[in-house]
């Protein structure tokens, strides 16, 4: 296990939602394995639309809720230093809107677990420096996401 997940849930969730959220660690571990990373730490926070809207406005200047935000704690060109006393390299924070994830799961006709897995892996890849600003970048990032998710049975 080369991933340590710190999970925070900032809203009330049903048992079904909690079960779907519990699949996040498996998805993120699959992403860390796929990327062949040293031990890493990631913080994931599940929030409502109001909170993610506030963060999106504050940090990206976009005045609307979104599905996932990533806040990397290192630059892609930085060398990774693993502190022996820590659990691994702290990559950063991922914030996911549970209401948006539920809405998108219904819209795309798949499970909430699949949508949360997709958003977590998407955010994780952003922490690693992947982006989708160009068509080529988008193709690379999205094919990585689908490969990771298919390895744990969360394909569309």
Report the binding-site residues for Zn(2+). Answer: 122, 126, 132
DSSP-assigned letter for residue 58: H
Sign of CA dihedral 121, 109, 106, 54: positive
Residue 153 CA: distances (Å) to CA of 87, 144, 146: 28, 14, 10
Give per-residue pLDDT as tens, 105-136: 999 999 999 999 999 999 999 999 999 989 99
Mean of all residue pLDDT scores within the chain: 91
Residue 85 has pLDDT above 80, yes or no: no
CATH assignment of 3-151, among 3.10.450.100, 3.30.360.10, 3.90.180.10, 3.40.390.30: 3.40.390.30
Give per-residue pLDDT as tens, 41-61: 999 999 999 999 999 999 999
Mean pLDDT over residues 2-30, rounded? 94
């Amino acid at each position: 296990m080369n991933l340590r997940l710190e999970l925070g849930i900032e809203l009330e969730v049903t048992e079904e939602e909690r079960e779907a959220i519990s699949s996040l660690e498996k998805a993120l571990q699959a992403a860390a394995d796929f990327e062949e990373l040293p031990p890493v730490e990631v913080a994931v926070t599940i929030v409502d639309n109001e909170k993610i809207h506030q963060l999106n406005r504050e940090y990206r200047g976009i005045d609307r809720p979104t599905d996932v935000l990533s806040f990397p704690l290192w630059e892609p060109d930085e060398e990774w230093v693993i502190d022996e006393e820590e659990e691994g390299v702290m990559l950063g924070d991922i914030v996911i809107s549970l209401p948006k994830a539920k809405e998108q799961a219904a819209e795309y006709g798949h499970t909430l677990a699949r949508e949360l897995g997709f958003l977590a892996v998407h955010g994780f890849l952003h922490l690693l420096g992947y982006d989708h600003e160009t068509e080529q970048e988008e193709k690379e990032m999205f094919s990585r996401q689908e490969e990771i998710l298919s390895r744990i049975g969360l394909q569309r």
